[in-house]
Amino acid sequence: MRTRSTVLLFVVAILCACSRGPEQRPLTVVGWGGTSQAAHRNAYWLAYEKGTGVPIREDVWHGGIGVLRAKVMGGDPGWDVVQAEVEEVILGCEEGVLEPLDWPALGGRDAFFAPAVHDCGVGAMVWSYLLAYDGDRLDDDPQSWADFWNVARFPGKRGMRKTPKYTLEIALLADGVAPADVYRLLRTPEGLARAFAKLDTLRPHIVWWSSISQVPDLIHSGEVAMSVASPGRLLLVNQTEGKNFKVVWNQNIYAVDFWVVLKNSPRRKEAMDLVRFMTRPGNQSRLPTLIPTGPSHKQAIAAMSAQDRARTPLAPENIRNALALDAEFWVEHLDPLTQRFNAWAARGQDG
Amino acid sequence: MRGHIPDSAPSHRLPALLLILPLGLFLAFNFLFPIGVMLSRAVLEREVPAAWPNTAAALSDWRGERLPDSGVVARFAEELRRSREDGTLSAAANRLNYDIGGFRSLLRHTAAALPLPPDRPPLEALIAIDARWGEAETWNAIKRACGPLTSFYLLASLDLRLAAAGRVVSVPDDRALFLDVFARTFWIGTVVTLACLVLGYPLAYLLATRPAHIAYPLLILVLLPFWTSILVRTTAWVVLLQRNGVVNDLLQWLQLVSAPVDLIYNRVGVYVAMTHVLLPFLVLPLYGVMKGISRDGMRAAASLGAPPLLAFRKTYVPHTIPGVIAGSLIVFMLALGYYVTPALVGGPDDQMIAYFVASYTNQSLNWGMAAALSVLLLLATLLLIGLYRSLVGARIRAWG
């Protein structure tokens, strides 16, 4: 008897699950987790839910066009709005994985910081890689990537990202190349040879990290005297844990993260509406108060307090000598350069 | 003994087979099929034939010495334009870009300048868009990617490539990488396995031969890290081994070294952390085997006058060989696929094959390369294990 009722219950449960009908899943927005997700939640998502009554479900991812491709291939992707890096925007737009945006509805392309504008994406935040160190450990303040290479004046190890991306750019900047010439040179064999030769001179002093989350520890423990870093986390730690991390904005490499809408989204209209909401200057102005990154709308950029602006790559004094990441270059050259970078690393000192 | 168990009758076999059918189907669909599909990418060309089927067919007849004739070129231009509209261009462009850097932008700006003007020969018009269309090598790259089968990825995984006229040549020195990484992978696997054996054998012996009130707490000490996340254990080694870490402080306090030594973010860190993480996989099977060995043999040998070490070597060690084989095989196989630990505590010259498989899978999406590296690692591993088993098997028979 008991068995039969269990079976019956099971069958009923299955029937219910199958016949649930076209009830919609919640609008789903996907970020990178951690402090940036929290900042977006507090800047936009809570206010959007309150204002429109549309509930938002959150998810977290760690990038990769393959993930988006797989999501879109099988009909409803399950995600609607995603925070994506520029490479994913470029490839996803070409492959038709992303929905083109309605730019007039967003306020027109001219209303935004130029690198934050793409057919299929609009800037979510502007961030950068730069030189960082612990102010309590270094007596003298380094000023540039040339100082990063100067182990006589600043003894100690150097932390760098274990990939050619950012590393080759930094090598050329340290070698005295002007930001405007970096990618022109990297597209030539001579420029690449020059970047690797410059890396050769620092090689024994480099500690290679693989995740940006290792950087605060590397610097704070004194494992490295300075490191390539992203300022957001370090500056937040200064506030919350009373550390004295310092960053050098001179010659920073900045990039834009984008909001994109996936193809086949059954909630395309609300998704577009959320993107519009997140790019309105009034709403964007909240972001820099929560996390040290720049907004993308020109009015929101202008509305930042001087103190907040100084913590973003968008401050005039920070962007003056900065290098914009050339995602097209990396989409085209990532594979051969990753191979060459690792071959270089394996060859040892004489290479 | 074996002869007394009756063979199950055929009529009993069918229900038995039906009972394991769900398991078989589960394995086939969730394991063999997806892995097979992924690995097949090492030898299949998909992107270019999918984007430009007519061009692929036409180029298969082209000899590859002079430039293709205008019929082929016109067909290619038409398909290139169409593929840009239906979104298949991106995949084909990325595939060709693996072969020749810069191919992606060549195709994209060429496609944007189409259709070709009708009043000029198609090849001439393409060359007017970009001079590279006037080079046979450009067209050869497309021909090489026309499939259906390819050796491109497997050759690239061995630092080789196809040159003109089908000759296989080495890639330039500054790009030769993977032979080195394969050697490194097997070397690290061997060192870690030996280190585990040296540390694990006495430990397992201790666990198996001490009374319970000593052995069980020790066993817990082996198991606790076994249950801890690999990420946590690896990070713990960062704390211990860094320049201002416990080990370096101790070494300096003992005045063994005058300045901090580099123990992490290099090969030393990889060996230490991997050996620690993998040690339980050797200790546990060995402990299981040693628990079942009677020590009467050693007593008998001792009573016949054998010194302890000789008695141990002649009567105890041979019985532990199955455990040694099982444990060291598990450790070796796991070590070959290691990814997280070297990524966190190694430099770029300490990364193993799995690192590159992951990087091709996630970062550059070159799944052909990821599959080719996996296939080669799998084959090399099977070969080595076969060799090991036959060598050690002969050894056991000799001892037995």
What would the pLDDT profile of B273-295 be if each residue is shown by its tens digit? 999 999 999 999 999 999 999 88
| Closest alpha carbon within chain B to A347 | B349
pLDDT of B136 > 70? The answer is yes
Tell me how far apart the alpha carbons of residues A98 and A81 are, in angstroms, rounded to a whole number. 10
What would the pLDDT profile of A17-34 be if each residue is shown by its tens digit? 444 444 678 999 999 888
Specify the pLDDT at position B398. Answer: 64
- Confidence band for B372, pLDDT divided at 50, 70 and 90: very high
What would the pLDDT profile of A297-328 be if each residue is shown by its tens digit? 999 999 999 999 999 999 999 999 999 999 99
pLDDT of A1 > 60? The answer is no
- Please enumerate, as own/partner, the contacts of B185-188 that have beta carbons within 8 Å and a separation of 24 or more: B185/B336, B185/B352, B185/B353, B185/B377, B186/B336, B186/B380, B186/B384, B188/B267, B188/B270, B188/B271, B188/B274, B188/B335, B188/B338, B188/B342, B188/B350, B188/B352
Encode burial over B290-328: b for 16+ CB neighbours within 10 A, e otherwise: beebeeebbeebeeeebeeeebbeebbebbbeebbbbbb
Tell me how far apart the alpha carbons of residues A161 and A210 are, in angstroms, rounded to a whole number. 6
**% chain A with pLDDT above 90:** 72
What would the pLDDT profile of B316-365 be if each residue is shown by its tens digit? 998 998 899 889 999 999 999 998 899 989 988 899 999 999 988 877 78
Specify the pLDDT at position B100. Answer: 87
Tell me how far apart the alpha carbons of residues B234 and A334 are, in angstroms, rounded to a whole number. 28
pLDDT of A286 > 60? The answer is yes
ipTM of the complex: 0.82
pLDDT of B239 > 60? The answer is yes
Structure tokens at B335: 């070590």
What would the pLDDT profile of B292-323 be if each residue is shown by its tens digit? 998 888 889 889 988 989 989 888 998 998 89
Residues for chain B: how many in total? 400
Specify the pLDDT at position A239. Answer: 85
Q: Is B190 on the interface with A (CB under 8 A)?
A: no
Specify the pLDDT at position B336. Answer: 94
Q: Hey, which of A36-45, B67-76, B84-93 has the most confident mean pLDDT?
A: A36-45
Nearest residue, CB atoms, B343 vs list A94, A210, A336: A210
Q: Is A208 on the interface with B (CB under 8 A)?
A: yes
The residue type found at A50 is: K
Tell me how far apart the alpha carbons of residues A44 and B137 are, in angstroms, rounded to a whole number. 52
User: Which H helix or E strand runs over A239?
Assistant: helix A231-241
| Closest alpha carbon within chain B to A192 | B174
Q: What is the pTM of this model?
A: 0.85
Structure tokens at A347: 């060859």
Specify the pLDDT at position B9. Answer: 58
Nearest residue, CB atoms, B244 vs list A221, A334, A342: A221
> How much is the average pLDDT of A274-278?
96
Do A93 and A327 touch, CB atoms closer than 8 A? no
Distance (Å) from the alpha carbon of B98 to chain A's nearest alpha carbon: 7
Chain B interface, mutation test: which of A194, A263, A264, A342, most B Cβ atoms within 10 Å?
Answer: A342
| Closest alpha carbon within chain B to A96 | B87
- Confidence band for A118, pLDDT divided at 50, 70 and 90: very high
What would the pLDDT profile of A138-194 be if each residue is shown by its tens digit? 989 999 999 999 999 999 999 999 889 999 999 999 999 999 999 999 999 999 999
CB neighbour class for A308 (10 Å; exposed up to 12, middle 13-18, buried from 19): buried
